[in-house]
Structure 1
Amino acid sequence: MQQPLKVMVIDDSRTIRRTAQLLLGEAGCEVITASDGFDALAKIVDHAPQIIFVDVLMPRLDGYQTCALIKHNSAFKDIPVILLSSRDGVFDKARGRVVGSDQFLTKPFSKQALLDALRAHVPGFVEQPQHAS
């Protein structure tokens, strides 16, 4: 049996973190959550996620800054980073590309959008539905 995909979700909203955790958990992913960029950077070292979803608008260290820090670190630069934002203007998306994000998802996101992002950025990702025990 293959290892579950390690997915990190960084968002200052507990509701968004719980929703993403539930949706990704249903697909068989192991979800690591962080409430902001600083919290996330420590956890990335410990957990080595295979893909990261990060909210753009967060206190202390926003999603753009967090993404830039991940992409400028040689150990983590190859981890796909998907920005999440309720703002989906051209400027927001362009700024996301400048800091190295791999994709931009608009909130509220659907389970399908999350899974499509995983399929697009994680080679060999196959949804592992959780079996009711």
Structure 2
Amino acid sequence: MKTILVADDSSAVRRAAAQALDASGYQVLPAVDGIELLALLAEYGADLVVCDMFLPRLDGLQACRLIRRNDGYINLPIVMLSSSNGLFDRARSAMAGADEYLVKPFSDEGLLQLVRAYIEGVDMA
């Protein structure tokens, strides 16, 4: 079973993502902030990270940069979440090392499409 780490300070977002991913056969590890994200990643590992850009204690951009500095996670797919669809935030996300950018609120199918593309190599088209 593939493991997805979902970090968001909103319990509604974590719950929505977990329900969609659980129903599709993925194990979900929820985190409320960037510190918990890194702790869960170190303890359990993950096949993909879904991370809100703005988290308490350690934001998603900082967490993404730290993950990318670790050789063991250099190829770990990271999907950055944000409520902003702006070019500036998309650029900041890419510069931090995120592979994809998903705008909230997201659809279950939109999230699953990204996850399948990175974990199972399924085409997003």
Smaller-chain TM-score range? over 0.9
- Kindly report structure 1 stretches of 4+ aligned residues shifted beyond 4 Å: none
Tell whether 2:104 aligns with 1:107.
yes
Q: Which moved more, 1:112-121 or 1:32-41?
A: 112-121
Residue identity matched to 1:96: S
AA paired with 1:77? I
TM-score (normalised: structure 2): 0.93
Which one of the candidate residues 92, 96, 111 is aligned to 1:95?
Answer: 92
**Which amino acid in structure 2 is aligned with residue 26 of structure 1?**
A
C-alpha displacement of 1:57: 1.3
Is 2:55 the partner of 1:58? yes
Task: Measure, in 2, the Cα distance between the counterparts of 1:59 and 1:39.
Answer: 10
**1:14 alignment partner, one of 11, 31, 37:** 11
Unaligned 5+ runs, structure 2: none
Distance 2:6 2:39 in 1: 13
Question: So what's the TM-score if we normalise by structure 1?
Answer: 0.88
Q: Indicate the percent of aligned positions where both proteins have the same amino acid.
A: 39
Partner Cα distance (2:121, 2:79) in 1: 18
Distance 2:97 2:85 in 1: 17
Residues of 1 paired with 2:30 and 2:74: CA distance?
Answer: 19
CA distance in 1, matches of 2:27, 2:116: 15
Range with bigger deviation, 97-106 or 71-80: 71-80
Question: Which stretches in structure 1 are left out of the alignment for 5+ residues?
Answer: 126-133
1:116 aligns with 2:113: yes
- Say which of 28, 32, 35 aligns to 1:31: 28
Larger proportion of helix: 2
Q: CA RMSD in A?
A: 1.1
Alignment partners' CA distance in 2, 1:81 and 1:71: 10
The Cα of 1:124 is off from its aligned counterpart by 4.8
The alignment partner of 1:43 has SS state of helix
CA–CA distance in 2 between the matches of 1:102 and 1:77? 11
Matched AA of 2:69: H
